[in-house]
């Protein structure tokens, strides 16, 4: 859950240094995007000036800096480009090394980085797929 406030104030909650925030934003390809916004880091995180795809990436950068052992990520936007998908995968790989990440999505594009994948149908678990190689590293 993010504050209905500026991008900067949402990052401030993480306690990360400005350098670390910039590094995470650059890693996800959103730093230059934020710097092109009229109010830069002072832009409201839920502003209509921020596309759904970029908002997701900014929120992922914030979540990755949170001091939490469990991170839940909902609804990855469907129309991400291949660069954005790869950056998200790299960030998620980094996160799952030391945190539990619960990813809710309608796409199977991230299955290769999941230790366990649950498929839901009609509100019920329809199948469970375990990636033994990834599961054994936890």
Q: Is residue 129 part of a domain?
A: yes
Domain span including residue 39: 7-135
- pTM equals 0.70
Q: Is residue 1 part of a domain?
A: no
Q: Is residue 2 part of a domain?
A: no
Helix axes 82-96, 52-65, angle to 10 degrees: 20
pLDDT value of position 132: 67
pLDDT value of position 37: 94
Q: What is the DSSP letter of 44?
A: B
Structure tokens at 1: 């859950």
Count of structural domains within the chain: 1
pLDDT value of position 36: 95
In whole angstroms, what is the distance from residue 6 CA to residue 97 CA? Answer: 29
Q: What is the mean pLDDT of each run of 10 residues along the chain (138 residues)?
A: 84 92 87 94 89 83 82 75 82 77 77 81 86 59
In whole angstroms, what is the distance from residue 86 CA to residue 74 CA? Answer: 18
């Amino acid at each position: 859950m993010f504050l209905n406030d500026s991008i900067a104030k949402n990052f401030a909650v993480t306690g990360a240094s400005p350098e670390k925030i910039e590094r995470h934003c650059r890693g996800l390809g959103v730093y230059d995007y934020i710097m092109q916004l009229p109010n830069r880091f002072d832009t409201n995180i839920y502003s209509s000036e921020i596309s759904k795809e970029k908002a997701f990436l900014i929120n992922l950068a914030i979540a990755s800096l949170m001091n939490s052992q469990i991170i839940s990520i909902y609804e990855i936007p469907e129309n991400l480009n291949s660069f954005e998908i790869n950056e998200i995968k790299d960030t998620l790989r980094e996160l799952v090394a030391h945190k539990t990440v619960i990813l809710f999505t309608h796409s199977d594009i991230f299955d290769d980085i999941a230790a366990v994948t649950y498929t839901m149908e009609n509100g019920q678990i329809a199948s469970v797929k375990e990636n033994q190689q990834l599961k054994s590293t936890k």
